[in-house]
Amino acid sequence: MTTHIGANKGDIAETVLLPGDPYRAKYVAENYLTEVTLYNEVRGALGYTGTYKGKKVSVQATGMGIPSISIYVNELIQGFNAKKLIRIGTAGSISRDLGVNELLLAEGAGTTAALREQYFANKVTFIPPASFNLLHQAYESAKKEGIKAKVGSVLSEDRFYDDSDEIHELVASYGITAVEMETAVLYTLAAKYHVEALGIMTISNSLVTGEELSAKERERNLDQMIKLALATAAE
C-alpha cells in the first residue's frame, strides 16, 4: 500500500494502462478484462487488475496533468514493481495531417513544464523518448489489427487553457504533432527508473480546424486506442 494507491503487493500487474479518467479505467476493466478485481478507490482514482488474453494487466486512473500522473507513476514503479506503463489518453492536434479520432503513438515528448529545473537542476534539457520496444510493438500491433495509428511527437503542457497559439505554431514548425499534459513526465520517470513507457493517444480535438469530440465521446468512444494498448500489453 502506498499513499495514493490502496493495494497490496501482488495486486497490480507489471503492465499497467494509464487513463486519466477513472471512468475510462472502469470502462476498460468492465468491457475488456476478465477475472477483474478493484484494488484502488483512494481519491476516486479507480484501479483494476484483470486478465487479457491470458496476461495479467492493470488499469490505473491518474488524473490530469504532470503533477497528478507523476504521483501514480512513482508509486506504481516504486511500490508495486510496474515494468510497462502505457498511457491511454487524449491529445489535441496541432498538425493538419492529424485529424480528430485518429490515433497517435508518441515517440517523444517535449514540455513547457518545469521538469528541467525539477529533475536536472536547470542544467540539462532532456527530451525523453518512448520505449522503442513498446513503440515497435504498438506499431506492429496496429498493422496486424488493421488500426490506423501515426507516430509523432507531443508537447506536454502545464496549462489546458492558454490564450496564446504562438507556442503551438512554433513547435508544430519543428514537427510536433499534438499537445497534451502528461507524457513528458511519464517518459522522464520511465527513464529514471529504467522501465518501459508509451503514450497512445486519441486525437480528441484539432487546434487547427476547431473540430472536437464531446465529453461523452472522450469517455466512451476510444475503443480503438484501448484495443491497441491491450494488444501491445499482451505481447
Q: Please give the annotated binding residues for a purine D-ribonucleoside, written as ranges.
A: 4, 180-182, 204-205
Report whether 65 contacts 21 (CB < 8 A). no
Question: Which grid coordinates are listed for 117?
Answer: 529545473
Question: Which grid coordinates are listed for 49?
Answer: 487488475
Distance between CA atoms of residues 97 and 35, nearest Å = 40
Binding-site residues sit at 4, 20, 24, 43, 87-90, 180-182, 204-205
Question: Which grid coordinates are listed for 9?
Answer: 503487493
Residues with Cβ < 8 Å from 75, sequence gap 6 or more?
A: 2, 3, 4, 5
Report whether 18 contacts 77 (CB < 8 A). no
Distance between CA atoms of residues 203 and 57, nearest Å = 24
Binding-site residues for phosphate sit at 20, 24, 43, 87-90
Question: Which grid coordinates are listed for 204?
Answer: 480528441
Residue 25 CB-half CA count within 13 A: 28
